């Protein structure tokens, strides 16, 4: 990836190194404006996501309904972001649902207003879409981290010392919590700065974000643009690294300032009102997500739905039957890819974890390697991958797509499985081995069987990661392998809202089903197995 | 003076203990005993307004003739010392104390007050360490010093000695008793160890389960 | 659905026989080609943004599978340039056979790029039996000159397109029928006029249409851009766009990304005039409930830009025989009449009416006319496409001016 940006392209018989591409890049106005847009939207979206998620946690963690709320939002994580973004587009656009709700009785609009709500040049809706996608993820990460911290006891301690609840969170829990979720935040940051699908659906396009622009350059027929795209991809990676460093320093400064606040003796942090506003933001985000998921089925079954009707005037199943053929094809493709890649990722994770259980040394190394796919920008990494695939003559095959899906779901599968797997009490297995020296059988029938709940949950996560893959499918599949996601994203902004909704809906439903199964199966597995056994005897 | 009237605690709707009343004079310790699981800790949590979700309680709490019930935890000015020292791991020993000092303590005295407090529990030379690098006994003493630094009007002690070994336990008991006398505040000590009660309490009462 | 399947069987009945008519004239090499094609898989890279076109391609796939045992896979593109760059990449990576693409739906700039880059197989088109039987290359200039580039049999015609405009008769009495009227309409109704964002194909076509109407140097458009004074010729266009954008939809800060989005915007009442390269777009969309049935098509008084679109075969295709058979099938009267059916696609036939047998002519005559589809006469004058080098030049300049 680095070499082509300096003009070194063995694939195209160019061997001299030049700075031409970099100079050309610097003189491209679309580069600078795209860079600015990527940077600002990526940073702001990450800030808002963390702010909203942590505020919600601070204000609601102690409430009795929070536990139920937590299990209610978990499935949202499994919905591919393209589906949510498409719903958001249909919600927020000037002819979207929100404006339909208030038109014409309140707004006086009997035609959509000429407002820049979606695809606005400042990327505000893009930021919104990223927040809708990342806020639940960060909340989930926060919840996972907080279970290690025993927050209630520390909050009580601080409160008894005279600090109100919110300030106690800020002074005592959040500083440590932040340390634990730094990695997820960096993942979100890298994602937000380099995302292609969300930005191309809902982001501005005159100019687009840098990631979208450079993808366009890369696909341009003339060779010179490819070098330009490589240079831009490198630039984007450096920007991501720079932003991470900047973020880290800024966070350090803020944390030390808060630490200083904490020790001054004042019982109330000035950050308190921020928390209130942030929680309101989080509530709005969640409402928006819900509306987003509601609007997809509405469009899917609508025949006529003109502005400013709040609901479709006529309904039909035609949309589905018209799309059924391609839907079946695309769903089959998505499902087989997801099942294959997740299964492989799960097996690899088991091998890695089993090794890790014995050696402490490998721990940090494996982990660091595994983070590469989730930290490095997909666009950059995948250009390199595509060039290599072309060399190896493996481009456009189902296997390379499946391999890339595995590559991208592996880190999530590994990280999810890690703590429950390592926490497993090995004594059970040892005991089984003493009773019956069948090592492999015991491994499956005892250890894995006891771990089936985390295994199923991990599978569901890997599945949803694979379902959501847009760029890897596009790059390795070269358009020959199309999934629900690639098809939905390609058509989102332009295509027929009804068909796009159907695809987005399917895309959302499949991981949800897998998630539901992953929750239910382990619970009923043993009772069902015993019932069957009883019937057989 | 701390006065409790008809205190009861509930898990969901189910009452755990029969109504409990007591009056504790300044400078004295009341030991509350009962079998484990009866709701001793819950009782203290109710007094401190830090009941976990699903638990609740009723009954009047009066501190120096003022009702505490309407106040949230942070306004009650109670000191709570639990089994686990619950020191903040991201703050140094000295910072843990400084965090607890009341907001009205003059700025220029804060350092001095912190050092005095550390000296009173013999931790002066550990001021800049992180609490997790202290021994168990040191951690317990730091937790006590921190609680006292906040200048509470009453002390709630939730089995604070149970995790210490015999010799440390004796030391801690002495420190606590001394502190209660010195600050002239009432204290409730919840425990299932009769030795605690005999060693430092001025009065002992037994909780009985709800009928 | 019902109408379509009846139609389909009607087509097969009337044309099925005649489709095999020219078979006696087929020379040895063509039957050889058909034999080779048996069992091959053709990856057809074709723009996939329109559902009715996708369904038509699927129909073609079913036909060639039944008749020739060819597996036709539609690789849906968002931009044909993607396919061009892929072949180019394969060539530079020395992947000279079994390339990933066997057939491309192509014309204009992309065709020129591939032809100049020697990325195409051929000439093959003029030898296709159906081409010899039914196509009259002299009927239209665009059959031999694709955006000013000589076709030379390197691509086989597939259909003809012309820019049409659409408006809702319930909202608008007389639609603007020239660029000048469009601008004054936009000034009177700010925010109701837009066009797709270049380099989207239709957007670039809008630029060419506007340039054609506005520039006094019309002859220059038929020459390569490098030969003329670009700034002088295009100045009226940019002046026009500067004025238009200030009163355009979203103040010219955002543009629709495709013809489909324009139709959606027209349906939502966000814009008042939509354009399409698909003469039956309005009828099809009304049928699917995407437009109100008061929408009608029209063209500009002085004509609109039209062109022919083709299919071509990359030099490194691994299924050249099957690709030729597909290209040949595409210009069979059977496939062309089905394609021109308004509810199927409505794309204009490239066949010469006079070369058809009377039953084939009747099949075309019997095609139902959609309520919002213009007849050939109504479509009026077809303006020629400027030289293919104009497209890139206009797109680059447009993005430089308006996309950052």
Q: What is the 3-state secondary structure (H, E, C) of B102-167?
A: CCCCCHHHHHHHHHHHHHHCCCHHHCCCCHHHCCHHHHHHHHHHHHHHCCCCEEEEECCCCCCCHH
**Structurally, what CATH architecture does the domain formed by C164-305+382-402 represent?**
3-Layer(aba) Sandwich (3.40)
The pLDDT of residue C9: 43
B152: closest chain A residue by CA? A161
The pLDDT of residue C8: 45
Q: Which of A282, A257, A283, A281 has the alpha carbon at shortest distance from A271?
A: A257
Query: Looking at the partner chain, which of C92, C197, C253 has a beta carbon nearest the beta carbon of A12?
Result: C92
Query: Looking at the partner chain, which of A95, A318, A496 has a beta carbon nearest the beta carbon of C260?
Result: A496
User: What pLDDT, in 10s, does the model give residues B110-169?
Assistant: 888 999 999 988 899 999 999 999 998 899 999 999 999 988 999 999 888 888 888 888
Interface membership of A152 toward B (CB under 8 Å): yes
A178: closest chain B residue by CA? B90
Spell out which residues of chain C touch residue A117, defining contact as CB-CB under 8 Å: none
User: What pLDDT, in 10s, does the model give residues C142-163?
Assistant: 888 888 889 999 999 999 888 9
Spell out which residues of chain A touch residue C73, defining contact as CB-CB under 8 Å: 480
Q: Which of C94, C162, C110 has the alpha carbon at shortest distance from C377?
A: C162
Interface membership of A223 toward B (CB under 8 Å): no
Model confidence at A275, in pLDDT bands (50, 70, 90)? very high
User: What pLDDT, in 10s, does the model give residues A185-218?
Assistant: 998 999 999 998 888 888 887 788 998 888 888 7
How close C57 comes to chain A (CA, Å)?
12
Asked whether at least 3 C-beta pairs link A and B within 8 Å, the reply is yes
Spell out which residues of chain A touch residue B99, defining contact as CB-CB under 8 Å: 158, 161, 171, 262-263
Question: How many helices (H) and strands (E) are present in chain B, helices listed first?
Answer: 6, 10
C191: closest chain A residue by CA? A114
Looking at the predicted structure, is the pLDDT value of residue A273 above 70? yes
Query: How many angstroms separate the Cα of A316 from the Cα of each of A62, A491, A492, B184?
Result: 46, 21, 21, 80
Looking at the predicted structure, is the pLDDT value of residue C262 above 50? yes
The share of chain B scoring above pLDDT 90, in percent, equals: 36
A255: closest chain B residue by CA? B90
Asked whether at least 3 C-beta pairs link A and C within 8 Å, the reply is yes
Q: What is chain A's alpha carbon radius of gyration, rounded to the nearest angstrom?
A: 25
* Burial class of B193 by CB neighbour count within 10 A (0 to 12, 13 to 18, 19+): middle
Spell out which residues of chain C touch residue A121, defining contact as CB-CB under 8 Å: 253-254
| Total beta-carbon pairs less than 8 A apart between chain A and chain B | 83
Is A502 inside a domain boundary? yes
Contact C258 A30 (CB under 8 A): no
**Taking CA A103 as the corner, what is the angle to CA A101 and CA A108, rounded to the nearest 5 degrees?**
155
Model confidence at C387, in pLDDT bands (50, 70, 90)? confident
Model confidence at B93, in pLDDT bands (50, 70, 90)? very high
Model confidence at A322, in pLDDT bands (50, 70, 90)? confident
Beta carbons of C260 and C162 less than 8 angstroms apart:
no
Measured in whole angstroms, the distance separating CA C42 from the mean position of its chain's CA atoms is: 21
How close B88 comes to chain A (CA, Å)?
7
The structure tokens listed for C203 are 């957007």
- Cβ neighbors of A163 (< 8 A, separation 6 or more) are A171, A172, A267, A268, B74
**Structurally, what CATH architecture does the domain formed by C2-160+307-374 represent?**
3-Layer(aba) Sandwich (3.40)
Query: Looking at the partner chain, which of B50, B74, B103 has a beta carbon nearest the beta carbon of A266?
Result: B103
Q: Could you count the other beta carbons within 10 Å of the beta carbon of residue A27?
A: 9
The pLDDT of residue A462: 92
The pLDDT of residue C279: 84
Beta carbons of A470 and A487 less than 8 angstroms apart:
no
How close C395 comes to chain A (CA, Å)?
13
Beta carbons of A460 and A511 less than 8 angstroms apart:
yes
Lowest mean pLDDT among A299-303, B138-142, C333-337: A299-303
Which residues in B have their CB inside 8 Å of a CB on A?
A: 45, 48-50, 52-54, 72-80, 82, 84, 86, 88-91, 95, 98-105, 110, 146-147, 150, 152, 156
Mean pLDDT of A474-499: 80
Is A495 inside a domain boundary? yes
**Taking CA A57 as the corner, what is the angle to CA A54 and CA A62, rounded to the nearest 5 degrees?**
155
Say if residue A104 is preceded by a cis peptide, omega within 30 of 0: yes
The pLDDT of residue C70: 95
Place of tokens 């997820």: A184
Query: Looking at the partner chain, which of B80, B91, B95 has a beta carbon nearest the beta carbon of A160?
Result: B80
The pLDDT of residue C32: 92
Model confidence at C12, in pLDDT bands (50, 70, 90)? very low
Q: Could you count the other beta carbons within 10 Å of the beta carbon of residue A336?
A: 13
Query: Looking at the partner chain, which of B48, B54, B98 has a beta carbon nearest the beta carbon of A156?
Result: B48
Query: How many angstroms separate the Cα of A273 from the Cα of each of A262, A285, A287, C34?
Result: 16, 18, 21, 76
Query: Looking at the partner chain, which of A63, A152, A159 has a beta carbon nearest the beta carbon of B74?
Result: A159
The pLDDT of residue B186: 94
Spell out which residues of chain A touch residue B84, defining contact as CB-CB under 8 Å: 153
Range of the domain at A520: 322-537
Dihedral sign for Cα B115, B117, B122, B123, please.
Answer: negative
How close B80 comes to chain A (CA, Å)?
7
Looking at the predicted structure, is the pLDDT value of residue C24 above 80? no
Round to whole Å and give the CA distance between B56 and B37: 16
The structure tokens listed for A489 are 């994203």
Domain residues of chain C, as ranges?
2-160+307-374, 164-305+382-402
The structure tokens listed for B27 are 């400078």
- Does this complex have an ipTM over 0.95? no
The pLDDT of residue A358: 76
**What is the domain-level CATH number for residue A427?**
1.10.3720.10
Question: How many helices (H) and strands (E) are present in chain C, helices listed first?
Answer: 16, 11
Looking at the predicted structure, is the pLDDT value of residue A109 above 90? no
User: What pLDDT, in 10s, does the model give residues A12-63?
Assistant: 545 555 667 777 777 788 888 889 999 999 999 999 999 999 999 999 988 8
Interface membership of A70 toward B (CB under 8 Å): no
Spell out which residues of chain B touch residue A162, defining contact as CB-CB under 8 Å: 74-75, 77, 102-103, 150
Q: Please list the residues that pair with B60 across neighbouring strands.
A: B5
Model confidence at C6, in pLDDT bands (50, 70, 90)? very low
Round to whole Å and give the CA distance between A490 and A492: 6
Residue C91: helix, strand or coil by DSSP? helix
Q: Which helix (H) or strand (E) holds C116?
A: helix C108-116
User: What pLDDT, in 10s, does the model give residues A327-363?
Assistant: 888 899 999 999 999 999 999 999 988 888 877 655 5
Interface of A with B in 176-205 (CB under 8 A): 176, 179
Number of domains, chain A: 1
Query: How many angstroms separate the Cα of A34 from the Cα of each of A41, A82, A120, A213, C78?
Result: 10, 21, 13, 7, 21
Mean pLDDT of C42-71: 91
Give phi and psi for A463, each to the nearest 5.
-60, -45
Is A8 inside a domain boundary? no
Looking at the predicted structure, is the pLDDT value of residue A428 above 90? no
Contact A62 B80 (CB under 8 A): no
- Cβ neighbors of A8 (< 8 A, separation 6 or more) are A14, A15, A16, A17
Looking at the predicted structure, is the pLDDT value of residue C243 above 50? yes
Beta carbons of C105 and C47 less than 8 angstroms apart:
yes
Averaged confidence pLDDT in chain C:
86
Contact B75 A265 (CB under 8 A): no
- Cβ neighbors of A503 (< 8 A, separation 6 or more) are A323, A327, A330, A484, A487, A488, A491
Round to whole Å and give the CA distance between A24 and C392: 18
Spell out which residues of chain C touch residue A116, defining contact as CB-CB under 8 Å: 250-251, 253-254
Query: Looking at the partner chain, which of B74, B105, B110 has a beta carbon nearest the beta carbon of A163?
Result: B74
Q: Which of A81, A80, A100 has the alpha carbon at shortest distance from A302?
A: A100
Contact B95 A64 (CB under 8 A): no
């Amino acid at each position: 990836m680095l070499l082509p940006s300096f003009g070194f392209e063995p694939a195209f018989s160019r061997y001299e190194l030049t700075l031409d591409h970099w100079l050309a890049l610097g003189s491209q106005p679309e580069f600078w404006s795209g860079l600015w847009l990527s940077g600002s939207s990526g940073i702001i979206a990450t800030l808002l996501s963390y702010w909203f998620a942590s505020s919600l946690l601070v204000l609601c963690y102690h409430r009795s309904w929070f536990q139920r709320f937590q299990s209610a939002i978990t499935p949202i994580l499994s919905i591919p972001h393209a589906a949510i973004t498409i719903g958001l587009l249909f919600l927020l656009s000037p002819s979207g649902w929100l404006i339909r709700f208030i038109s014409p009785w309140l707004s006086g609009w009997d035609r959509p207003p000429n407002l820049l709500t979606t695809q606005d040049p400042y990327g505000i809706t893009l930021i919104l879409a990223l927040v809708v996608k990342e806020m639940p993820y960060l909340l989930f990460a926060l919840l996972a981290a907080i279970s290690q911290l025993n927050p209630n006891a520390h909050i009580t301690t601080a409160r008894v010392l005279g600090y109100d609840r919110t300030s106690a969170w800020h002074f005592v829990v959040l500083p440590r919590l932040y340390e634990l979720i730094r990695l997820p935040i960096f993942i979100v940051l890298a994602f937000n700065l380099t995302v292609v699908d969300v930005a191309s659906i809902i982001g501005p396009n005159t100019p687009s974000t840098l990631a979208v622009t450079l993808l366009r350059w890369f696909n341009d027929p003339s060779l010179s643009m490819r070098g330009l795209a490589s240079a831009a991809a490198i630039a984007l990676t450096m920007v991501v690294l720079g932003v991470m460093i900047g973020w880290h320093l800024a966070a350090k400064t803020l944390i030390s300032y808060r630490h200083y606040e904490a020790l001054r003796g004042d019982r109330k942090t000035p950050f308190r009102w921020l928390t209130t506003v942030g929680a309101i933001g989080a509530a709005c985000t969640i409402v928006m997500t819900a509306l987003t998921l509601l609007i997809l089925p509405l469009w899917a079954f609508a025949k006529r739905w003109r502005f400013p009707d709040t609901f479709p005037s006529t309904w039909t199943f035609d949309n589905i039957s018209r799309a059924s053929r391609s839907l079946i094809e695309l769903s089959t493709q998505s499902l087989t890819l997801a099942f294959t890649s997740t299964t492989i990722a799960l097996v690899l994770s088991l091998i890695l974890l089993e090794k890790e259980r014995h050696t402490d040394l490998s721990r940090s190394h494996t982990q660091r390697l595994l983070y590469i796919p989730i930290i490095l920008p997909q666009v950059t990494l995948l250009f390199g991958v595509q060039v290599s695939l072309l060399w190896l003559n493996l481009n456009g095959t189902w296997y390379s797509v499946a391999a890339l899906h595995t590559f991208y779901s592996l880190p999530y599968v590994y990280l999810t499985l890690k703590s429950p797997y390592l926490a497993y009490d090995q004594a059970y297995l040892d005991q089984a081995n003493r009773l019956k020296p069948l090592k492999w059988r015991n491994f499956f029938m005892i250890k894995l069987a006891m771990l089936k709940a985390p295994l199923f949950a991990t599978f569901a996560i890997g599945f949803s990661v694979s379902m959501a893959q847009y760029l890897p499918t596009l790059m390795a599949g070269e358009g020959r392998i199309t999934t629900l996601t690639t098809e939905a994203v390609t058509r989102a902004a332009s295509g027929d809202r009804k068909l796009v909704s159907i695809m987005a809906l399917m895309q959302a439903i499949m991981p949800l089903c897998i998630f539901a199964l992953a929750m239910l199966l382990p619970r009923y597995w043993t009772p069902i197995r015993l019932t069957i056994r009883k019937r057989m005897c | 003076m701390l006065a409790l009237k008809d205190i009861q605690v509930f898990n969901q709707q189910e009452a755990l203990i029969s109504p409990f009343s007591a009056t504790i004079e300044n400078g004295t310790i009341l030991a509350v005993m009962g079998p484990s699981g009866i709701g001793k800790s819950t009782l203290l949590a109710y007094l401190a307004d830090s009941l976990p979700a699903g638990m609740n309680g009723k009954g009047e709490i009066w501190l120096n003739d003022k009702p505490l019930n309407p106040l949230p935890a942070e306004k009650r000015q109670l000191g709570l010392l639990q089994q686990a020292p619950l020191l903040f791991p991201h703050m140094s020993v000295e910072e843990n104390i400084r965090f607890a000092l009341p907001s009205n303590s003059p700025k220029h005295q804060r350092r001095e007050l912190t050092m005095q407090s550390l000296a009173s529990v013999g931790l002066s030379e550990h001021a800049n360490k992180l609490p997790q690098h202290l021994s168990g006994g040191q951690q317990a003493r730091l937790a006590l010093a921190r609680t006292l630094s906040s200048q509470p009007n009453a002390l709630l002690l939730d089995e604070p000695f149970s995790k210490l070994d015999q010799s440390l336990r004796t030391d801690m008991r002495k420190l606590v008793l001394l502190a209660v006398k010195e600050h002239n505040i009432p204290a409730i000590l919840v425990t299932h160890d009769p030795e605690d009660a005999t060693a430092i309490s001025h009065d002992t009462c037994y909780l009985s389960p709800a009928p | 659905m019902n109408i379509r399947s009846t139609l389909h069987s009607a087509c097969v009945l009337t044309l099925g026989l005649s489709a095999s008519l020219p078979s006696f004239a087929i020379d040895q090499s063509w039957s050889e080609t058909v034999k080779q094609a048996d069992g091959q898989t053709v990856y057809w890279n074709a723009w996939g943004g329109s559902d009715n076109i996708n369904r038509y391609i699927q129909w073609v796939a079913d036909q060639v599978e039944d008749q020739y045992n060819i597996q036709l896979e539609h690789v849906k593109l968002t931009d044909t340039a993607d396919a061009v760059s892929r072949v180019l990449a394969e060539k530079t990576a020395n992947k000279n056979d079994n390339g990933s693409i066997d057939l491309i739906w192509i014309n204009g700039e992309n065709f020129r790029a591939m032809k100049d880059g020697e990325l195409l197989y051929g000439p093959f088109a003029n030898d296709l039996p159906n081409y010899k039987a039914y196509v009259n290359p002299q009927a239209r200039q665009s059959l031999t000159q694709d955006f000013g580039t000589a076709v030379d049999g390197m691509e086989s015609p597939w259909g003809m397109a012309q820019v049409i405009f659409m408006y809702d008769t319930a909202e608008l009495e007389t639609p603007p029928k020239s660029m000048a009227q469009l601008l004054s309409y936009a000034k009177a109704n700010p925010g109701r006029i837009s066009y797709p964002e270049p380099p989207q194909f239709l957007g670039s076509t809008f630029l060419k249409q506007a340039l054609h109407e506005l520039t006094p140097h019309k002859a220059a458009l038929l020459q390569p851009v490098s030969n003329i004074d670009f700034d002088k010729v295009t100045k009226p266009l940019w002046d026009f766009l500067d004025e238009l954008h200030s009163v355009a939809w979203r103040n010219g800060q955002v543009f629709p990304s495709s013809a489909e989005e324009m139709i959606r915007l027209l349906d939502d009442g966000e814009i008042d005039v939509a354009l399409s390269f698909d003469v039956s777009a309005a009828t099809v969309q009304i049928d699917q409930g995407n437009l109100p049935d008061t929408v009608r098509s029209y063209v500009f008084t002085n004509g609109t830009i039209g062109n022919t679109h083709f299919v071509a075969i990359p030099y490194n295709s691994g299924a050249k025989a099957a690709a030729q058979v597909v290209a040949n099938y595409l210009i069979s009267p059977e496939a062309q009449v089905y394609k021109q059916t308004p509810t199927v696609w409505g794309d204009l036939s490239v066949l010469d009416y006079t070369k058809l047998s009377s039953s084939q002519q009747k099949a075309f005559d019997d095609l139902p006319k959609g309520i919002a589809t213009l007849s050939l006469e109504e479509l009026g004058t077809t303006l020629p496409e400027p030289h293919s080098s104009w497209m890139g030049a206009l797109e680059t300049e447009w993005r430089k001016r308006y996309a950052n």
